[in-house]
Copies of this chain bind each other. A is one copy, B any other.
Amino acid sequence: MEETIIEKIQELVKSRRIAQLRELLESINSADFPSLFEELDDEDMVVIFRLLPKDKASDVFVELDPDLQEKLINNFTDKELKVVVDDLFMDDTVDLIEEMPSSVVKRILKNIKPSDRKIINELLKFPEDSAGSIMTTEMVELKENMTVDKAFQIIKDTGIDKETIYICYVVDNSRKLIGTVAIKDLLISERDVLIKDILEDNVISVLTTEDQEAVAKMFDKYNFMAMPVVDKEDRLVGIVTIDDAIDVMQDENTEDFEKMAAMTPTEDTYFKTSVFKHAKNRIVWLLFLMLSSTFTGLLLEKFQAAISAVPLLVAFIPTIMDTGGNCGSQSSTLIIRGLALDEIKLSDLFKAVWKEIRVSFLIGAVLAIVTGLRIFLQYDGIHNDQSIKIAFVVGVTLMATAMIAEVMGCVLPMFAKKLKLDPAIMASPLITTVVDLCSMLVFFSIATAVMGL
């Protein structure tokens, strides 16, 4: 939102030029109000919200962060609260109830129609992250023996909205889902045609208990606008709309990013998460990884004699460890992402490993030659005949490290998936720790053998 518009609004509020303010507000998209409200003080926000037409008020309300929603509700009369809540979709009401403190929840429930209250209580019971928890119950339901004309009548009466109109759902008398009718098929059909003659009976639906990530993937695959949700008896209970599916996709991506960086994922944004919560989300994995790296330390302790004899060896530890970490990071990222998008299946394990072996052989060879040459040129003459030996040892270690790291980065996420764990935990941090141990073992074993330490 531009500075000038915000300033203009503040000015109009101050001078109470209501008509002008109302006109200006009309031209602002609902999705732009959160950034506007952030710039205003609470009082101005409430004034502006009250000026919005009823329809837009609930659209704006849905877009706001929970803390702003709470502030508004605390300023609402019961009547105002009822107007806003009545106009929300069921899934948005459920989200609101889940976010608000209990005193606010009580006020919300008090101002909801008893019939809606029953539906909301049902929706609140679905497990978190299930299709049932993100579905809404507003949809157009038709019967087989209706005419197209009757269907249009029902669409008008249902109080249609963009979220729910593009596909209508055909159910039988026991509410079993038997087909769908796209609005385009209604529009191109004659008015007296029966629904059963134009319905599509290959319906793809999901159970209320289906994982929301799986539902979002189906949207991506089938290019749906909405997905019907059924109970165990195949009865239609709701629909998941594409805007919610997109939110799930982005949340799951964020979760993967966080897990792959060794953090406990959180649903809040960066600034909404407190310092203490941030520390808590990060410390668990850090401690685990730090203590795991002790094993590499113990290994290095074993080679103290070699280090005392040729302390220069230590200078190559960062290069070897960093390269190992980076290689592991690359292949694990590709595999984890491929698994998440279903581009890689568990049965592809050997195909993937064989690919990584070839890739890492090429990469390892280049890294080994470049670093080997660099060492030879840098230390030739200074360390006498040692320089060629060190160049050889570091080169071979880099080659081995690259291969171990890329293969581990491929295998470990797939094993995690096989064990029904999230592959994202087998990302760079954990793999780096494992590869460090392997690469240091290789390095000092070869060094002591070749250099006779």
Contacts and interface: CB of A to CB of B under 8 A. Distances in A.
B322 A432 contact: yes
Interface bin, chain A: 35 or more
Nearest to A334: B270
A355 B166 contact: no
Contact of A250 (B220, B327, B362, B432): B220
B202 A322 contact: no
A143 to B, nearest CB: 19
Contacts of A332: 261
Nearest to A370: B287
A20 interface: no
Interface string A340-360: 010110001001100100110
Interface in A247-262: 247, 249-250, 253-254, 256-258, 260-262
B187 A155 contact: yes
A452 interface: no
A184 B389 CA distance: 78
Contacts of A317: 297, 300, 314, 317-318
State the copy count for this chain.
2
Contacts of A322: 289-290, 293, 321, 429, 432-433, 436
A77 B44 CA distance: 68
A182 interface: yes
Interface stretch (A110-118, A227-235, A276-284): A276-284
Interface stretch (A93-101, A126-134, A205-213, A303-311): A303-311
A304 B296 contact: no
B262 A323 contact: no
B330 A271 contact: no
A351 B317 CA distance: 36
Interface stretch (A10-18, A68-76, A157-165): A157-165
A173 interface: no
A425 B246 CA distance: 25
Given A282-B363, A293-B318, A301-B312, 12 more contacts: A29-B202, A250-B341, A254-B337, A257-B333, A261-B332, A278-B355, A287-B370, A297-B316, A307-B307, A308-B311, A318-B321, A428-B428
Top 6 nearest A-B pairs (CB, nearest first) are A261-B333, A296-B318, A297-B315, A279-B362, A304-B311, A223-B243
20 contacts: A160-B188, A165-B184, A242-B242, A253-B253, A270-B335, A271-B343, A282-B330, A282-B359, A286-B327, A286-B367, A290-B367, A290-B398, A294-B319, A296-B318, A297-B319, A298-B315, A300-B317, A300-B318, A307-B311, A311-B311
